[in-house]
């Protein structure tokens, strides 16, 4: 699969026949939507964890020096916190562009705080995409993040903002917090 998944998402037609739908955001969408929506509320999905295993060649890094951003990885028995937005298919043009670096649209059940479960849309970068970086040590991930910058700014800003947003919502994420803590140590060592 190429880096650019816009056409793959457009041709998939996932949720294109809906008037409204829920979008589950688990990375920067938690703290920075960038679009209008009719409703927003915390949600969780079962069987997935957030990992800094996806390369960012277009937002938080460059093709020569990719940053690292989160994707979802299957993990039976685990729960991933995120933010759900009620949107329309008109949002797909913006979202497909924002998530173009390897992310595909998937349908996924999500649960809300009141116990309601809805089938919604989530963008996931799988290991088959060209920007996949995969697993690495917390230190290696943090060093790459601390050193990378792209058109959307320093990769460190993304990692630290995500950790801050998760903490603000009372969500637990050992991986994100460990990466963010190590990034802070590296920044402090820079002087």
Contact in structure between 79 and 26 (CB atoms under 8 Å):
no
CA distances from residue 107 to 10, 121, 163 in whole angstroms, order as listed: 15, 5, 25
Q: Choosing from 39, 78, 99, 190, which is the catalytic residue?
A: 99
Is 185 a known active-site residue? no
The set of residues, in sequence order, having a beta carbon less than 8 Å from that of 147 and lying 6+ positions away, is: 65, 155
Beta bridge partners of 55: 68
Q: Could you give the residue numbers annotated as active site?
A: 99
């Amino acid at each position: 699969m190429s880096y650019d998944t816009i056409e793959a998402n457009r041709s998939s037609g996932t949720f294109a026949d809906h008037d409204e739908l829920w979008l589950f955001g688990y990375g920067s969408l938690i703290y920075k939507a960038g679009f209008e929506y009719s409703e927003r509320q915390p949600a969780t999905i079962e069987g997935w964890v957030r990992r800094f295993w996806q390369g960012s060649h277009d937002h938080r890094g460059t093709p020569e020096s990719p940053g690292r951003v989160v994707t979802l990885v299957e993990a039976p028995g685990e729960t991933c916190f995120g933010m759900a937005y009620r949107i329309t298919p008109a949002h797909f043009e913006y979202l497909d562009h924002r998530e173009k670096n390897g992310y595909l649209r998937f349908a996924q059940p999500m649960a809300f705080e009141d116990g309601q479960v809805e089938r919604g849309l989530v963008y996931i970068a799988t290991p088959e995409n060209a920007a996949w970086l995969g697993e690495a040590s917390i230190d290696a991930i943090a060093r790459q993040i601390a050193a990378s910058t792209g058109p959307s700014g320093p990769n460190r800003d993304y990692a630290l903002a995500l950790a801050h947003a998760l903490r603000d919502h009372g969500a637990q994420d050992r991986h994100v917090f460990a990466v963010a803590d190590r990034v802070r140590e590296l920044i402090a060592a820079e002087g």
